[in-house]
């Protein structure tokens, strides 16, 4: 609970890249509870690697610039960010800021963080139960030597607490996607090597461009272009592990203009290059 974390007092812990026999898709980069006052504190989002951060304000005030829009981070606010991205958060001179944070890495953790940002923005106000879930995860990660699986579970629990606050009631599991959306998704899955611009997807769905974008985003929680990118990278992962094709051949098969662009997109999502992903995962499977 939050009270347990506050009673423990300030603590910061950076976690090494946790690796087990399997490549886990949601793990923690670190966690901490901090009190800042009258000091220089500033983080630039474009200068950071591929991970996400959840940071909850307990007291004081922090500042956030997210894509040119400024937000005040007040008690009860939870900031969710993914990197690299055009964001910056900082402490103004003369101010104080008390907060706790959890760093998240791995494909699934980043996927959920980005979906939250796309639908709810970078600042949320979760209820007390969700804050307690976050604080429990932070305390465990920051103070205990957890096994790989337990650390992954703590990181995933934190991300799901934010998910439930931001998206929990957006799309009930028994609601079927609208037919035009399903048409567009099927078209993407069958034509990943083609040029899949929004206009082409709108035609496949049978809607105008503007109507299609609104309906697709509302029904799925992500923009059509982001859905295309995720499908391409999903296919790329399968091809990297199941074939001996070169990086360039895989890039072409998945619809990327060239291997360089593919490599940058893959690293942004997974934190490693396609070649590193292939060698690491294959060693794990064969080890």
Q: Is the pLDDT assigned to residue 179 strictly greater than 50?
A: yes
The owner of tokens 């946790």 is 18
Q: Determine the pLDDT at residue 14.
A: 87
Q: For residue 58, how many C-alpha atoms fall within 13 Å in the half-sphere facing its CB?
A: 20
Residue 14 burial (CB count, 10 A): 11
- Across the chain, how many H-helices and E-strands are there? 11, 10
Q: Is the pLDDT assigned to residue 117 strictly greater than 60?
A: yes
Cα–Cα dist 168/115, whole Å? 12
Q: Determine the pLDDT at residue 189.
A: 86
Q: Do 29 and 162 form a contact (C-beta atoms < 8 A)? A: no
Q: Which residue has the higher pLDDT, 229 or 176?
A: 229
Cα–Cα dist 275/277, whole Å? 5
**CATH numeric code, 179-286:** 1.10.10.60
Q: Do 262 and 256 form a contact (C-beta atoms < 8 A)? A: yes
User: What DSSP designation does 45 have?
Assistant: G
Q: Report pLDDT digits (tens) over 75-103.
A: 999 999 988 888 899 999 989 999 999 99
DSSP characters over 157-194: HHHHHHHHHHHTTTS-TTPPPPHHHHHHHHHHHH-TTS
What's the average model confidence in pLDDT over 112-129? Answer: 87
Q: Determine the pLDDT at residue 209.
A: 93
> For the chain, what is the mean pLDDT?
86
Cα–Cα dist 234/237, whole Å? 5
CATH 2.60.120.280 fits 2-167, yes or no: yes
**Where does the pLDDT of residue 268 fall: very low under 50, low under 70, confident under 90, or very high at 90 and above?**
confident
**Where does the pLDDT of residue 22 fall: very low under 50, low under 70, confident under 90, or very high at 90 and above?**
low
Q: Do 216 and 184 form a contact (C-beta atoms < 8 A)? A: yes
What's the average model confidence in pLDDT over 43-68? Answer: 89
Q: Determine the pLDDT at residue 172.
A: 43
Asked, colleague to colleague, whether 2-167 and 179-286 share their fold, the answer is no
**Where does the pLDDT of residue 174 fall: very low under 50, low under 70, confident under 90, or very high at 90 and above?**
very low
Q: Is the pLDDT assigned to residue 19 strictly greater than 60?
A: no
The pLDDT > 90 percentage for the chain reads: 38
Q: Determine the pLDDT at residue 63.
A: 93
List all residues 6 or more positions away from 216 whose beta carbon is below 8 Å from its beta carbon.
Answer: 180, 181, 184, 201, 205, 223, 224, 227
Taken as a whole, the chain contains a residue count of: 287
Q: Report pLDDT digits (tens) over 216-242.
A: 988 887 889 988 998 898 888 888 888
User: What DSSP designation does 15 have?
Assistant: P
Q: For residue 122, how many C-alpha atoms fall within 13 Å in the half-sphere facing its CB?
A: 24
**Where does the pLDDT of residue 171 fall: very low under 50, low under 70, confident under 90, or very high at 90 and above?**
very low
Q: Is the pLDDT assigned to residue 284 strictly greater than 70?
A: no
Q: Determine the pLDDT at residue 141.
A: 93
Cα–Cα dist 159/106, whole Å? 12
Q: Report pLDDT digits (tens) over 62-71.
A: 999 988 888 9
| 3-state class (DSSP) for residue 106 | coil
Q: Determine the pLDDT at residue 283.
A: 62
Q: Where are the domains of the chain?
A: 2-167, 179-286
Q: Is the pLDDT assigned to residue 212 strictly greater than 90?
A: yes
What's the average model confidence in pLDDT over 53-66? Answer: 93
Q: Do 274 and 234 form a contact (C-beta atoms < 8 A)? A: no
Q: Is the pLDDT assigned to residue 198 strictly greater than 80?
A: yes
| 3-state class (DSSP) for residue 33 | strand
Q: Do 68 and 60 form a contact (C-beta atoms < 8 A)? A: no
What's the average model confidence in pLDDT over 240-248? Answer: 86
């Amino acid at each position: 609970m939050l009270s347990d974390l506050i009673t423990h007092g300030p603590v910061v812990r950076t976690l090494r890249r946790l690796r087990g026999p399997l490549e886990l898709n949601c793990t923690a980069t670190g966690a901490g509870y901090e009190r800042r006052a009258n000091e220089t504190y500033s983080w630039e989002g474009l200068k950071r690697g591929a991970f996400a951060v959840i940071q909850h304000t307990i007291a004081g005030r922090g500042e956030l610039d997210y894509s040119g829009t400024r937000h005040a981070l007040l008690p009860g606010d939870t900031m969710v960010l993914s990197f690299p991205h055009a964001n910056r958060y900082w402490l103004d001179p003369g101010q104080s800021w008390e907060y706790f944070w959890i760093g998240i890495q791995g494909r699934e953790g980043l996927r959920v963080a980005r979906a939250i940002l796309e639908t709810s923005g970078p600042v949320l106000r979760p209820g007390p139960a969700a804050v307690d879930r976050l604080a429990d995860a932070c305390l465990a990660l920051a103070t205990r030597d957890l096994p790989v699986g337990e650390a992954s579970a703590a990181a995933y629990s934190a991300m799901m607490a934010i998910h439930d606050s931001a998206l929990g009631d957006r799309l009930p599991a028994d609601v079927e996607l609208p037919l035009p959306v399903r048409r567009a998704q099927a078209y993407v899955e069958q034509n990943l090597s083609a040029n899949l611009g929004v206009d082409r997807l709108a035609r496949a769905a049978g809607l105008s461009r503007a109507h299609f974008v609104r309906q697709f985003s509302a029904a799925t929680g992500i923009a059509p272009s982001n859905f295309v990118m995720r499908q391409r990278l999903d296919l790329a992962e399968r091809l990297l592990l199941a074939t001996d094709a070169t990086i360039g051949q895989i890039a072409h098969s998945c619809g990327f203009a060239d291997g360089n662009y593919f490599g940058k997109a893959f690293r942004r999502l997974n934190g490693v290059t396609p070649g590193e992903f292939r060698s690491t995962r294959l060693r794990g499977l064969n080890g």
